[in-house]
Structure 1
């Protein structure tokens, strides 16, 4: 295996270990030394300098997993069908997605006091916004959306809705299950869909 491949593999191991430890602790800080203890190398070789770096490593691993699912789910789908499949998958529908939500909440909280985390949060939110805006524009251009939909505004509202539903499903599962959250997001997508374009069952 080449040196770049070795480096990528090692980085992936570090990020996966960070994800496991941070999510197991409910988003509480994890030090580079604690990651090293699970992987055996000296802490200096991990490329992590503090708990913020560990949190970033965990979230980058989580976001890569989410991105793979997103593109798998939207393959062969277009417009609202693609958006519906991709966005509903962001909700905490099972244990894996609950862990991902725990990490997101930890990132939001830490971002209030850490410029490094805050900058990462803004950058990754904008990356997701670009994807959602693009799919919404495709849906609008294909005549799937009702007249007058402001794509930029709807993008922001959909992502805010997903955040709120996810937090409620995490904190108040007796009031908001993952299934109920998915129904609420479905209903919002139905609200902007031109009659006759909603998928079967809606």
Structure 2
């Protein structure tokens, strides 16, 4: 059992290194040879953990999804409605180094998903369903009379989701213009617009 645990840990460490390679050079250039060189391992060593490049890419994506989903559960524990929505939204913006890496990884997989159907792109669509969580929390906020109900929970969630993706992508493209502080401020302003105005 300990041997398997150590192997799983080494595999996870390798996959974290793979994330950095993908974020820097993209999926197409992230060959097994490049990954081996970048991680300081031999191609033969990688073969102990993965069958081929798609296995590496899918495994890296799955580990990312698992860690994101676990973080959501931890951060949303005990929160409801608007407070939970705010926490989830801010967690999905590149406001620190880890989430910046996740964003770069996401953009790399978006490109693959849009340009070609493959094992990797089909796995991308099976990731943590942010839109589902957003809809649930918006609906909960509406029931608690914290979030306005002049639009459906589904439509509000789509607007919020688009804001997350837009700010995230533009933060990568224009980091001088969209600093982390500015993204947070702009998103907080968007969330403020969702609040029920008390009379």
Deviation at 1:82, TM superposition (A): 0.9
Match of 1:25 in 2: 25
CA-atom RMSD, angstroms? 2.5
- Write the deviation string for residues 14-61 of structure 1: whole angstroms up to 9, x where unpaired: 3223123223436663122444453455343222412x4433333333
Deviation at 1:78, TM superposition (A): 1.1
2:25 and 2:60 map into 1 onto residues whose CA distance is 12
Match of 1:200 in 2: none
Deviation at 1:88, TM superposition (A): 0.7
Match of 2:182 in 1: 180
Number of aligned residue pairs: give it: 194
SS in 2 for 1:18: helix
| Structure 1 unaligned blocks of 5 or more | 197-202
Tell me which moved more, 167-176 or 9-18.
Answer: 9-18
Q: Normalized against structure 1, the TM-score is what? A: 0.81
Deviation at 1:130, TM superposition (A): 1.7
| 8 A contact 2:20–2:101 mirrored in 1 | no
Deviation at 1:75, TM superposition (A): 1.9
1:49 aligns with 2:66: no
- Write the deviation string for residues 60-93 of structure 1: whole angstroms up to 9, x where unpaired: 3333333333223222211110110121121111
| 8 A contact 2:85–2:137 mirrored in 1 | yes
- Write the deviation string for residues 118-172 of structure 1: whole angstroms up to 9, x where unpaired: 32232226x2222222222221222212132311112222111111101111111
Q: Normalized against structure 2, the TM-score is what? A: 0.82
| 8 A contact 1:19–1:61 mirrored in 2 | no
| Structure 2 unaligned blocks of 5 or more | none
- 1:52-201 aligned within 5 A: 52-116=54-118, 117-124=120-127, 127-195=129-197
| 8 A contact 2:23–2:108 mirrored in 1 | no
2:127 and 2:134 map into 1 onto residues whose CA distance is 13
